[in-house]
Amino acid sequence: MAQYIILVVVGLILLIFGLFIVKQQQVAIVERFGKFIGIRKPGLHVLIPMVDRVSGRMSLRIQQLDVIVETKTKDDVFVQMKVSVQFVVLEDAVYDAFYKLDNPHEQIRSYVFDTVRAEVPKLRLDDVFEKKDDIAIAIRRELEEAMNTYGYGIIKALVTDIDPDDAVKSAMNRINAAERQKTAAEYEGEAERIRIVAKATAEAESKRLQGQGIADQRREIAKGLEESVEVLNQVGINSQEASALIVITQHYDTLHAVSEGTNSNLILLPNSPNAASNMLNDLVSSFAVGNKVAEMNQNIKPE
């Protein structure tokens, strides 16, 4: 009876202290007297109490490590870069991942520092922003070559942030604002040029039409004067007298138009009673002299 009780107690001890559970996406490393004996996958497992022990557990999930690196670009600008490395423990290399590296995060961080400080100083600040994907590819390549040996697979490396010094960012913002103002000024200048050209074209067309109108008006006036001279000739008034009479009439029509187009009611006229007659005689005489001079020029034969 006593032996039976002892066996039951021992069985309970084994059952209590020898059972352990490994969760999903996790593995357990089992050692016996300090020596590795195997890897336990998800499920319920039994250990020999006081002999075997679970020395560690490792997650098989994808992990992420964020690394912030400060470095200098080719144009001597200090920047802080945030690099996110996604990595995972290789299921067939758990032994290497557990025993070969004491601190895998520090190992990854060291490789990221080394790669960033080797790549970024080759680039100017603007190129760093444009080629951040190339920097991420270089980081992943270097990490894959190094970490696969230790049982870690690199899923992806991402450059998630590039943060220059505040003074540099302020200068970049001013440069950007100046460029935009320059572009806006160029567009405004082009718009103003188009407006000026359009206005000049419109004015030129207006002047052309105005000139055409004046020419048509003068043509009609000349036609009317010709008809008036013909009518006066029919009543015994010769061409010179008719022309003088028409000029006198136009003279008084002009005075009337001036009086209507100004704010002044005062117009100065010759004070002599026979001023109109004298003007008519002077015009007739001038026309006669002009006609004689024209006839003499026609009669002069060139030698």
pLDDT at 260 over 60: yes
In this prediction, residue 61 has a pLDDT band, given cuts at 50, 70 and 90, of very high
Q: State pLDDT tens for residues 20-47.
A: 888 999 999 999 888 999 999 999 888 8
- Phi and psi angles of residue 137, each rounded to the nearest 5 degrees, phi first: -65, -40
Q: Which of 21-30, 87-96, 116-125, 257-266 has the lowest mean pLDDT?
A: 257-266
pLDDT digits (tens, 9 = 90+) for 193-216: 888 888 888 888 888 888 787 777
What's the pLDDT score for residue 175?
A: 78
Higher-confidence residue of 240 and 301: namely 240
8 Å CB contact between 155 and 136: no
Mean pLDDT for all residues in the chain? 78
- The CA–CA distances, whole Å, from 12 to 9, 29, 49 equal 5, 24, 11
Distance from C-alpha of 195 to C-alpha of 204, rounded to nearest angstrom: 14
Give residue 1's pLDDT. Answer: 65
Q: Which whole number is the average pLDDT over 270-295?
A: 60
Structure pTM? 0.53
State in Å, rounded, how far the first CA of the chain is from the last one. 172
303: three-class secondary structure by DSSP: coil
* CB under 8 A, 24+ apart: contacts of 67-70: 67/108, 67/109, 67/112, 67/113, 69/112, 69/113, 69/116, 69/117
Can you give the pLDDT at residue 178?
80
Q: DSSP states of 131-197 as a string?
A: THHHHHHHHHHHHHHHHGGGTEEEEEEEEEEEEE-HHHHHHHHHHHHHHHHHHHHHHHHHHHHHHHH
